[in-house]
Structure 1
C-alpha cells in the first residue's frame, strides 16, 4: 500500500515538475538556431526512413533536464531541443514515445519498435554487446539527500546500513549493490538498496524520509534539488563514487543503419555551436564534451 501511495504521489510530482517548473529551470529567451537539411547526412539514412520521413525515439520520461514528458507523445528538455535540431539536419521528423524504465527502452529497441533512444543513456561496455551509443555528454554520479545531510552520506563508504534509493536496472544500482557486499565483508551493516522505476518516485522517497539518499546522475539530481524548495541538497560531488569516466548518449540497436547518420548529425550541431547553446540553456555546461563519438566507454576500465 505504501509503495502504491509513493507511485501515485510520484505521478503528481512528475507532472508538477514537468510542466509548471520546467521553464523556470531552463534559461528563458534562448534562441536555438534553425538547421537546414544536410543532403550528405540525409543520404546516410536507410531507405525506409527516407521514404517515411519519420524516426521514433523512445524515452522513459524521467530524466530532466534532458527528457521531460509533457503529454502522451510530447517531450521537452535539452534532449528534446537536441532531437528537434537533429531532425532538421537529417531532414526527417523525430517523434517521441515513452515507456517504463531502461529495460522497456532497450527491449523496444531490440524488437525494432523504435529507431533510437535520444537519452542520454549510460554507455557501459556490457551494454555495447547489443547496443551502440552515440555519446554526447559526460556524467557524474552523486547523492541527493535531505537538507543538512542528517545521515552524513558523503561517499560510498558512508552508505553501510543506510537506505539508498536507485533507479532499477541502472548502473548506480549495480555499484551500490557491490558496495553493500563490501560493507558486509568489512563487518558493517549491508546497504538497504531501494530500487525505483523513475526519478520522481526516488526523490519522493528521500523527501518523505523513506530513503536516506538517492544515488543517481548529477544532472537530473541538480534539477530536482532546484525544485525541492530547500528540502534537498547534493553530496558526494567531485568524487568517483565507484565510477570511472561516464559517457552518455543516444542508444541504437547494435550496428543500426541510423547510427552513422545520427553521429554525423550531432557532429554538425557540435561544429555550428547549436549543441553548446542547447546545453547551456538547460544548465548543463559541466556535462559537455568536445565531440560526439560512438561507444566512448570502450576505453574505460570496467
Structure 2
C-alpha cells in the first residue's frame, strides 16, 4: 500500500498550531465527552458474559418485515436449522453499524437492522454476543465458537487465510480532528510528529505504524500511535487533547462528528490514506457452508430494496455496494 508523496509542513508550524488550540481543548472535550462517554458505556467491548445472548429486537422503520426464503433456509448448516438460530459476535463499538446496549445484551445500528432482516429471510433468529476486541471475534469464528460476525469487519487478504468475508459495505479511512483541522491533515502523509489514536488490532493501526516508519526514514518525527480497544475511547482521546486525530473508517467517524455538535470534523477525505479499495462485511470460518448462504441473503435484501432503506436510515448511503461479494479484498 503506497504512501502519498504530499508535501510535509514544517514541524514549527505544527507546534504553533498545537499551542493555538490549547485554550480550546477543554471546551472541545466538554462539548463532546458526554456523548462519547455515553457511547463508551454502551459499547466499550465488555468481556463476554457466558451464555448471555440477545435475540434481536424487531427491525426499525428502515427495514420492512421479510418473507422467509425456503430455498435459502434449506441451504443452512444442519445444526443451524436444528437450533433455529445463528450466533453473531460483535465488538459493540462500531457505530452507526453496531451499538451495544449498556446491559451487554442489546444491539442497535445498521448491522442490527440488517441482521434482523437477514434472519427473517433465512428463517432463523440471529442472536448476538459481545466480546473484548476484534482479535477475540476472529479467533472465536475461526474456532467455531460463533457462527459469524455480521460486522461489517474489514476484509483483507491476510485475514482471508483463516476466515471468509461476505462483503456488504465499501469503506474509506479518514481522520476525525478538532474543528478547523489545526494540524492541517490532508492525508496520512501529513501525520509525522503527531499523536494519532487508532483501534487496536485494526487495519488503520497497521497503516499508521507503517507511516510512522516512513516518517523516520525521511528524517521526520515519528508518529505517536495510541491504540485503544474501542471507538468511543479513541475519539475521546481527540476531544480531550490527548491525541491530535483519530484514524478510522469514515462511516463511524461521520457518526461521531455529527454527535460532537460542530467541535470535530473529518480530514483526509477523498484520499487513499494507505489503503486500496476497502471492503467490509460479515465474517465466517474459512470455507464455511454458511458463506454463500449469507451472500445470497444479503443480495436478496439489496434487490428488494431493504438494504437501501437500512443504509439510508443510518446515514451510510455512501458506503453501499450494488452487489454482495465474497472476499473482494485484493490486498
TM-score by length of 1: 0.90
Distance 1:218 1:43, change over 3 A: same
Question: Hey, what does 2:78 align to over in structure 1?
Answer: 47
Q: CA deviation at 1:129?
A: 0.3
Question: Hey, what does 1:286 align to over in structure 2?
Answer: 318
Q: CA deviation at 1:30?
A: 3.6
Question: Please, which of 206, 210, 221 is the counterpart of residue 253 of structure 2?
Answer: 221
Q: CA deviation at 1:15?
A: 5.2
Question: Please, which of 255, 261, 265 is the counterpart of residue 233 of structure 1?
Answer: 265
Structure 2 residue runs of 5 or longer lacking an equivalent are 1-32, 44-59
Q: Distance in 1 between matches of 2:228 and 2:35?
A: 11
Do 2:169 and 2:321's aligned partners in 1 also have CA atoms closer than 8 Å? yes
Do 1:73 and 1:95's aligned partners in 2 also have CA atoms closer than 8 Å? no
Question: Please, which of 182, 194, 216 is the counterpart of residue 214 of structure 2?
Answer: 182
Q: Distance in 1 between matches of 2:260 and 2:230?
A: 17
The question of 1:97 aligning with 2:150 is answered: no
Q: Secondary structure at the match of 1:40?
A: helix
Q: CA deviation at 1:12?
A: 3.4
Q: Distance in 2 between matches of 1:236 and 1:266?
A: 31
Q: Secondary structure at the match of 2:253?
A: helix
Deviations 1:113-169 (A, max 9, x none): 210101000000110000000000100000000111112222112100100001001
Do 1:164 and 1:191's aligned partners in 2 also have CA atoms closer than 8 Å? yes
The question of 1:202 aligning with 2:234 is answered: yes
Q: How does 1:157-172 map to 2 (within 5 A)?
A: 157-172=189-204
Q: CA deviation at 1:235?
A: 0.4
Q: CA deviation at 1:264?
A: 1.3
CA RMSD of aligned residues (A): 1.7
Off by >6 Å, runs of 4+ in structure 1: 8-11
Question: Hey, what does 1:261 align to over in structure 2?
Answer: 293
Question: Hey, what does 1:25 align to over in structure 2?
Answer: none
Q: Secondary structure at the match of 1:125?
A: coil
Question: Please, which of 277, 291, 295 is the counterpart of residue 327 of structure 2?
Answer: 295
The question of 1:193 aligning with 2:218 is answered: no
Question: Hey, what does 1:151 align to over in structure 2?
Answer: 183
Structure 1 residue runs of 5 or longer lacking an equivalent are 1-7, 19-28
Q: Secondary structure at the match of 1:85?
A: helix
Q: How does 1:127-138 map to 2 (within 5 A)?
A: 127-138=159-170
Q: Distance in 1 between matches of 2:244 and 2:165?
A: 33
The question of 1:33 aligning with 2:81 is answered: no
Aligned residues: 282
Moved more, 196-205 or 148-157: 148-157
TM-score by length of 2: 0.82
Question: Please, which of 42, 52, 62 is the counterpart of residue 93 of structure 2?
Answer: 62
Question: Please, which of 29, 37, 48 is the counterpart of residue 12 of structure 1?
Answer: 37
Question: Hey, what does 2:49 align to over in structure 1?
Answer: none
Q: Distance in 2 between matches of 1:100 and 1:217?
A: 19
Do 2:178 and 2:265's aligned partners in 1 also have CA atoms closer than 8 Å? yes
Do 1:10 and 1:201's aligned partners in 2 also have CA atoms closer than 8 Å? no
Q: CA deviation at 1:192?
A: 0.6
Q: CA deviation at 1:200?
A: 0.4
